């Protein structure tokens, strides 16, 4: 190919330097672009060069150049580095975003995932050439089955939601095999949004059950909803209020009683690791968010993994091919009544490798300590907040606590959103807010086990200070600082609803740069 710099790129040419780390907006890469610039520093090799027209049939060639950004290597590195400095992440500080388990991930797991022997293997390499990889995958599957109390698993699904759909397709295949046309799947009203979405994608209608006065599944309502057309129930335990469903065995009996299956949304597995297993609670299908609990950060758009584990009677339906033990070695096999592939090759293999590494690091005892510390931190934090915020369900929690800013709002006008924004000025990532919907002005806080007692104390101090400050300003009749927050971050308060409702998902590089 010709080494000439491509032309016809985006206009731009805006200067950018360190001052942009302040409040000014970082330009887009297109705004930094200047025609003819390139981010390479290769010397002429003397080897023959061909133009694209000599190599690619005419009908496949573009009529005009792609308007790519043209920037020097220096400008590119500066741009990306400035952006990375404006970014808050788990490596920077506490990230108590409830339901997301944004805990610190040990770097040794990343190191293992970057070993060339793992990283550089082509996924289509035949089993004989990847015996080490297959062994690792088989061992991971076995460990996940031991943790969940299941018989077999697929490692293919790429995220929690992908695992949910896989599980529901298994549920459907199971019922169809016995000639039953079931149409509804029960989910609690506090369920994560992906649950009803997966139910619909899986071809079922959603049947909702409410929450009782203790914050748990309303069993009287469940009894009314259950009928022979119910394919199953999807639950997360602890639930999204951070509460353990104490009557889970009774619930399992009720669902199994109408011939339904129990699906465990394992996104909240962190606090029960090594303590209790979904299999022992009566669940038939489980997904795990490896990108929460097992050493890959959740969020941020990176790859994830949502393996699905099932009981023995469902194992034949798992996606395939699956890595399996074959005599002294390892191979691939597709279960006899498999629902088919749900991901290419072995799934997101490097996320799986991180999880294997995390399990090897911690062992059974270490995992139990992970769970215990996550529960301790959440309960300790919650007790510190007593009096400043409302406790909608005043019971010990598992790994996260949901408190309400309803009284604070009534007394001061400061809402959960304002508390979250003010917390950014105290140097913490915001908790999840307004979820679960069953709690008014909800703040869902998950400190995770990886934060030190001092950091959890500082988080509690910050939340208390925000509430006290709001009350003091309400008494004095002065402007509420929380309403104007955040003022110390690279960007101030955004119109988040506007951004979601008027989605502009593309950038037109041909447009001239805007000042
Ligand atoms: C309770 C619960 N279920 C399911 C999911 C979906 O997982 P994913 O984001 O990997 O699709 C999440 C994600 O945060 C969750 O919190």
Residue 442 has pLDDT above 90, yes or no: yes
- State the pLDDT at residue 515: 44
Q: pLDDT tens digits for 168-219?
A: 999 999 999 999 889 999 999 999 999 999 999 999 999 999 999 999 999 9
More confident site: 454 or 490: 454
Per-residue tokens: 140: 């991971």
Could you identify the atom of ligand 1 that is nearest to the CA of residue 268? 1
Ligand 1 mean position, distance from CA 98 (Å): 11
CA distances to 180, 358, 464, 483 from 385, rounded to whole Å, are: 50, 32, 7, 21
* Gap between the Cα atoms of 7 and 3, Å rounded: 12
- State the pLDDT at residue 512: 57
Residue nearest to atom 5 of ligand 1 (CA): 160
Residue 390: strand pairing partners: 404
Number of neighbours of residue 68 by Cβ within 10 angstroms:
14
Could you identify the atom of ligand 1 that is nearest to the CA of residue 161? 11
- State the pLDDT at residue 3: 36
Rounded to two decimals, the pTM is: 0.90
- State the pLDDT at residue 48: 84
Residues in the chain: 515
More confident site: 349 or 501: 349
Q: Is 115 helix (H, G, I), strand (E, B) or coil?
A: coil
Q: Of 338-342, 422-426, 496-500, which gets the smallest average pLDDT?
A: 496-500
CA distances to 122, 136, 152, 333, 501 from 130, rounded to whole Å, are: 9, 10, 21, 15, 47
Ligand 1 mean position, distance from CA 270 (Å): 13
Confidence tier at 4 by pLDDT (50, 70, 90): very low
More confident site: 355 or 4: 355
Residue 17 has pLDDT above 70, yes or no: no
Q: pLDDT tens digits for 62-117?
A: 888 888 899 999 999 999 998 888 888 899 999 999 999 999 999 999 999 999 99
Residue nearest to atom 7 of ligand 1 (CA): 160
* Gap between the Cα atoms of 70 and 12, Å rounded: 9
In this structure, the residues whose C-beta lies within 6 A of any atom of ligand 1 are 99-100, 159-161, 192, 194, 236, 240, 265, 267-268, 289, 304, 306
- State the pLDDT at residue 1: 33
Ligand 1 mean position, distance from CA 23 (Å): 33
CATH code of the domain occupying 127-362: 3.40.640.10
Q: pLDDT tens digits for 398-410?
A: 999 999 999 999 9
Which residue ranges make up each domain of the chain? 18-85, 127-362
Ligand 1 mean position, distance from CA 169 (Å): 18
């Amino acid at each position: 190919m010709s080494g000439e710099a491509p032309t016809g790129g985006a206009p731009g040419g805006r200067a950018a330097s360190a001052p942009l780390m302040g409040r000014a907006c970082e330009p887009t890469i297109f705004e930094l672009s200047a025609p003819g610039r390139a981010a390479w520093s290769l010397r002429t090799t003397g080897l023959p060069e061909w133009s694209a027209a000599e190599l690619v049939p005419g009908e496949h060639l573009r009529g005009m150049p792609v308007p790519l950004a043209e920037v020097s290597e220096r400008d590119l590195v500066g741009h990306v580095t400035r952006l990375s400095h404006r970014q808050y992440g788990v490596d920077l500080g506490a990230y108590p975003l409830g339901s997301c388990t944004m805990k610190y991930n040990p770097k040794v797991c990343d190191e293992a995932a970057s070993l060339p022997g793992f990283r550089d293997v082509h996924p289509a390499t035949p089993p004989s050439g990847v015996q080490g990889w297959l062994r690792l995958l088989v061992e991971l599957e076995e460990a996940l089955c031991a943790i969940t109390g299941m018989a077999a698993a697929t490692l293919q699904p790429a995220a929690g939601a992908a695992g949910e759909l896989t599980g529901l397709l298994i549920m459907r295949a199971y019922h169809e095999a016995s000639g039953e046309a079931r149409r509804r799947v029960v989910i609690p009203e506090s369920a994560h949004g992906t649950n009803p979405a997966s139910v619909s994608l899986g071809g079922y209608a959603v049947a909702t059950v409410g929450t009782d006065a203790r914050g748990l599944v309303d069993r009287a309502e469940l009894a009314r909803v259950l009928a022979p057309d119910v394919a199953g129930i999807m639950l997360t335990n602890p639930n999204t209020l951070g509460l353990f469903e104490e009557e889970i065995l009774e619930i399992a009996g009720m669902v199994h009683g109408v011939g339904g299956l129990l699906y465990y949304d394992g996104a909240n597995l962190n606090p029960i690791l090594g303590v209790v297993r979904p299999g022992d609670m009566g669940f038939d299908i489980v997904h795990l968010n490896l990108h929460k609990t097992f050493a890959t950060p959740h969020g941020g758009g990176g790859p994830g993994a949502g393996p699905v584990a099932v009981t023995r009677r469902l194992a034949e339906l798992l996606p395939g091919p699956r890595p399996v033990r074959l005599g002294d070695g390892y191979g691939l096999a597709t279960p006899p009544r498999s629902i088919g592939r749900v991901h290419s090759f072995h799934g997101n293999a490097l996320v799986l490798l991180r999880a294997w590494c995390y399990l090897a690091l911690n062992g059974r005892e270490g995992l139990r300590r992970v769970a215990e510390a996550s529960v301790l931190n959440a309960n300790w934090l919650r007790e510190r907040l007593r009096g400043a915020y409302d406790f909608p369900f005043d019971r010990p929690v598992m790994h996260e606590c949901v408190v309400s800013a309803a009284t604070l709002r009534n007394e001061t006008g400061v809402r959960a959103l304002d508390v979250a924004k003010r917390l950014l000025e105290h140097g913490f990532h915001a908790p999840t807010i307004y979820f679960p919907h069953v709690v008014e002005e909800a703040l869902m806080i998950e400190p995770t086990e990886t934060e030190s007692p001092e950091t959890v104390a500082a988080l509690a101090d910050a939340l208390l200070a925000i509430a006290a400050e709001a009350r003091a300003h309400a008494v004095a009749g002065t402007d509420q600082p929380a309403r104007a927050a955040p003022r110390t971050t690279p960007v101030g308060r955004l119109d988040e609803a506007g951004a979601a409702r008027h989605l502009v998902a593309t950038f037109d590089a041909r447009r001239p740069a805007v000042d």
